[in-house]
Amino acid sequence: RKAQHFFNDNFVMRDPNAPDGVRYYQGKILIRTRKPQDDMNVLIKFCPDPQALFIDTPFGRQLNPVAIVTTEALSEAEADRIERDPDKVDLVIRFKDTQAILGLAGRPNADVAQLLIENLVQITGNFGHMFKFGAIGKNVQAAVKEFL
């Protein structure tokens, strides 16, 4: 029940123009570094295949957790190819290097504006997805804290 509630709060959007009045958040976020030798390119897709979000089980129709978020490691060439294609990526978060990413572990309440000012991160694309990504991350933190 908690998983369904979390899913509904983070990924379900009421839309009177969508079939059944519901659509799902389908953001595509590419995380990279500016140092090509880091070879750090991860594509995160939320609800990439809405048809796969639910499966029939002996207990009834259930949420399919493996269909909610997918990640894919990309080569530098693959990431370069899709980075500016709005059909492939909604938002690109480009860190200075892997050290900048690891440094976030020591800054649990990092401010995006401060990261931008310090030139540790660049963000391009549809910035609305940054807010959604941040909200999902904050809700994941709250859910994990509940179990600790």
User: What's residue 1's pLDDT?
Assistant: 82
Beta strands in 66-127 (DSSP E): 69-73, 91-95, 121-125
Cα gap 121→126, rounded to integer Å: 15
As given in the structure block, the two tokens for residue 45 are: 């897709």
Least Cα distance to 50 among 89, 5, 19 occurs for: 19
User: What's residue 69's pLDDT?
Assistant: 96
Share of the chain residues as helix, strand and coil, in percent rounded to the nearest 5: 45, 30, 30
- The low-confidence residues of the chain, meaning pLDDT below 50, are none
User: What's residue 106's pLDDT?
Assistant: 76
Say which amino acid occupies 23.
R
User: What's residue 147's pLDDT?
Assistant: 74
Q: How many CB atoms lie within 10 A of CB 30?
A: 23
User: What's residue 97's pLDDT?
Assistant: 92
User: What's residue 14's pLDDT?
Assistant: 93
User: What's residue 123's pLDDT?
Assistant: 93
User: What's residue 44's pLDDT?
Assistant: 97
User: What's residue 32's pLDDT?
Assistant: 96
